[in-house]
Chain A
């Protein structure tokens, strides 16, 4: 079975400081992994995705994530937080053998302090 664990339900950082949002997955096979961002009362926007190519994935708005198979992790990082980064972030795992169904993490709420 596939599952996703987002280790922090809430993260608070100061503007201009680095962001780290943690995600661990459980899968017996090589998964595809995504990070989505959701601003209040909005739909989900894709930040980046890992689909068995390069393990370091660069996304939009300066975000990146590294797939570490040995640690079953796919943490999201950004060198310098911006006020507009305040939102809810979801880590998602999917697997071809299960019809590519999306399994969502519980989400991490990011607060950026001015």
Chain B
């Protein structure tokens, strides 16, 4: 149980275009999802916390107008990288909490990640 999927697993786009990444909780309802960014050989950096039905909370230094997050349902959150540039190339990972797991209320279940390359 507690499976999180991401789509696509990898994407290549041209500079200036927008890219949407989907994060789905497959077997549970996730009221809270998280978006992380990971550069090569580095740790994960939290970009934003996505709460179903409300605006996302962005971490300091993350441009909310560039990284649009939508959490319209309890099983889906999307991250849209708008007007992407080569410096946005990275590995984007989402995670979700399963509020039904009372013993692991603070555990996060991670998706497999999306590799974005902007040419």
CA gap between A114 and B95 in the complex, in Å: 34
Determine how close the nearest CB of chain A comes to the CB of B19; give it in whole angstroms. 18
A113 at the interface (CB under 8 A from B): no
Q: Which residues of A contact B34 (CB under 8 A)?
A: 102
> Total interface residues on A, using CB and 8 Å?
23
14 further A-B pairs in the complex, CB-CB below 8 A; given A42-B113, A44-B44, A101-B46: A36-B110, A41-B115, A43-B93, A44-B110, A46-B109, A49-B104, A51-B103, A51-B104, A90-B43, A94-B106, A100-B105, A101-B49, A102-B34, A107-B42
B residues contacting A by CB (< 8 A) are 4, 6, 34, 41-46, 49, 91, 93, 95, 97, 103-113, 115
Q: Which residues of A contact B43 (CB under 8 A)?
A: 90, 104-107
Number of A-B contacts (CB under 8 A): 50
- A44-69 vs B, CB cutoff 8 Å, 1 = contact: the mask equals 11100101000000000000000000
Q: Which residues of A contact B107 (CB under 8 A)?
A: 34, 46, 49
CA gap between A90 and B110 in the complex, in Å: 13
Determine how close the nearest CB of chain B comes to the CB of A56; give it in whole angstroms. 18
